[in-house]
Amino acid sequence: MLYIKNLLTYILLLPLVGAGVLLLIPASNKTLLRLVALNFSCLTFVLSIFLWVFFNKSVGSFQFVNKFLWIPILNINFTMGIDGISLFFILLTTLLIPLCLLASWDSIQVDVKNFLIAFLVMEFFLIGVFCILDLLLFYIFFESVLIPMFLIVGVWGSRERKIRAAYFFFLYTLLGSVLMLLSILYIYYQVGTTDYEVLLTFSFSPLEQKIMWFAFFASFATKVPMVPVHLWLPEAHVEAPTSGSVILAGVLLKLGTYGFIRFSFPLFPEACFYFAPFVYAMSVVGIVYTSFTAIRQTDFKRIIAYTSVAHMNLVMVGLFSFNIIGLEGAILQSLSHGFVASALFLIIGVVYDRHHTRMVKYYGGLVHTMPLYVMIFLFFTMSNIGLPGTGSFVGEFLILTGSFKTNTTITFISATGMIIGGCYSLWLFNRIAYGNLKTQYFQTYLDINKREFLTFFPLILGTFVMGLYPQVFLESIHLSVNTLVEFMYF
């Protein structure tokens, strides 16, 4: 079954092949460019579903492992494989890329060819981040994601501050990662390799763990993002095109939490326990502060950007509960946030494409003219709050249950963030959907079309399935999380 063993390699390389094909097509043929990019991204998603189908749920170790020689003289090889944790992050990535391409079908008209190539190249880097089992190569892929995202914000952003926002995003996330590179070099010097599975067998001294944990933390915390290194996110979201915001909220914010799960926890367990109170303090400040900040925003996108920060900080509370329930809740909440936040940015994109403004004060009474749009908006507003029956409820419930075992005070403060979340979510929905139509600003109102509905449908389905039957996801995650907890405690 060679094709199954190499399935992960095909999934990784397919977006890159797609980008290569796009290079051969004339830039003037925009329809063909879009169709080719969409077909390659959809094929990548279909193959990643087979990854889930052939995934052995009764094994906690890495599967679909492939190793290629890269720099043999330095004992650095291109090793990749997945476990139950990385499986769903790859699925989330391959699902959101075609949705991003569909969302930008009409709105991006300038330099379409390079825009599509940037997205396919970014998909290649993102899949690489989630399947690479070598620390140095992980760093290369982790940082390479910045390049296409920098271009998407800076070139195809919607407003005049897009260049500033792109540099803000690039410098914040790059500076945080410099310390991580130094730590990786130190690890290579100590162990003689950066192979992840070899590093799992190596034990660092408590002092080494603390220093390197902090270096990794500087990089991952910026990506999450945690307060006070969160300032790049609202800027990047507001200036990015809709599809850029979708992939930023849906996948790029997960790179930080994935980094903690994959590297910080198993390699530096003692340091994780030592710094847990520090992370808890930063997380609860982030949850409460950004939730209150979201209430006073007037820009549609900025509100959702701040809610993303609050939700990702709640994920950090789940991760640092150091028990199976909290960790599984954090992973589920990350996936659910990928669905819900992406959908909310698509919802903003629908009205922005029609009216070219994101100021909340210009909208009102859309339920009278855009009933299907408002119905989808209501569903994802309730998902954002964590209504039972949605994926966010399951994730938040598991996080709070797991963290309650570790620290009841932190759990209580984190739960207040959910109450504030209800305030800003319902306030926003009420302003947009109800009241009188503001005809002095807009004369024409069009409900969502077939293409826009197709972008929402997979996200609605995913949110429902995760909320009603989370076992579908948990049965694949469980043994991998169990193995991770064993590494930490034993």
pLDDT for position 3: 63
pLDDT for position 229: 82
* Strand blocks (E) in 28-96: 63-71, 76-82
SS3 content of the chain, % helix, strand, coil (to 5): 75, 5, 20
Mean pLDDT of 461-476: 92
pLDDT for position 251: 92
Separation of alpha carbons 157 and 244, rounded Å: 8
Q: Which tens digits make up the pLDDT trace of 143-157? A: 999 899 988 888 888
**Residues of the chain with pLDDT > 90: what percent?**
53
pLDDT exceeds 80 at position 444: no
DSSP calls for 329-357: HHHHHHHHHHHHHHHHHHHHHHHHHHHS-
Separation of alpha carbons 373 and 42, rounded Å: 25
pLDDT for position 169: 83
Say which amino acid occupies 163.
I
Separation of alpha carbons 144 and 139, rounded Å: 8
Mean pLDDT of 160-164: 80
Global pTM? 0.94
Mean pLDDT of 456-478: 92
Phi-psi region of 297 (alpha: psi -120 to 50; beta: other; left: phi over 0): beta
Q: Which tens digits make up the pLDDT trace of 361-378? A: 888 888 888 899 999 999
Q: Which tens digits make up the pLDDT trace of 168-202? A: 888 888 887 888 999 999 999 999 888 998 998 88
The answer to whether 80 and 131 have CB atoms below 8 angstroms apart is yes
Q: Which tens digits make up the pLDDT trace of 401-419? A: 999 998 899 999 988 888 8
pLDDT for position 361: 86
pLDDT exceeds 80 at position 137: yes
Give the chain's radius of gyration (CA, Å). Answer: 22
The b/e string for 180-211 (b: 16+ C-beta within 10 A; e otherwise) is beebbeebbeebebbbbebbeeeebeeebbbb
381 burial type by CB count under 10 A (0-12 exposed, 13-18 middle, 19+ buried):
buried
CA torsion sign for 74, 77, 83, 86 is positive
pLDDT, mean over the chain: 89
Separation of alpha carbons 286 and 226, rounded Å: 6
Residue 424: pLDDT band with limits 50, 70, 90: confident
The single residue listed with the structure tokens 């994959």 is: 262
Q: Which tens digits make up the pLDDT trace of 215-233? A: 999 999 988 888 888 888 8
The domain limits of the chain are 272-490
Residue 2: pLDDT band with limits 50, 70, 90: low
Give the bridge partners for 84, in sequence order.
none
pLDDT exceeds 90 at position 438: no
The token pair at 333 is 């909440």
Three-class DSSP category at 76: strand
pLDDT for position 86: 92
Q: Which tens digits make up the pLDDT trace of 313-349? A: 999 999 999 999 999 999 999 999 999 999 999 999 8
Beta-carbon contacts of 302 under 8 Å, excluding residues fewer than 6 positions away, are 234, 237, 238
The token pair at 79 is 């090793």
Three-class DSSP category at 111: coil
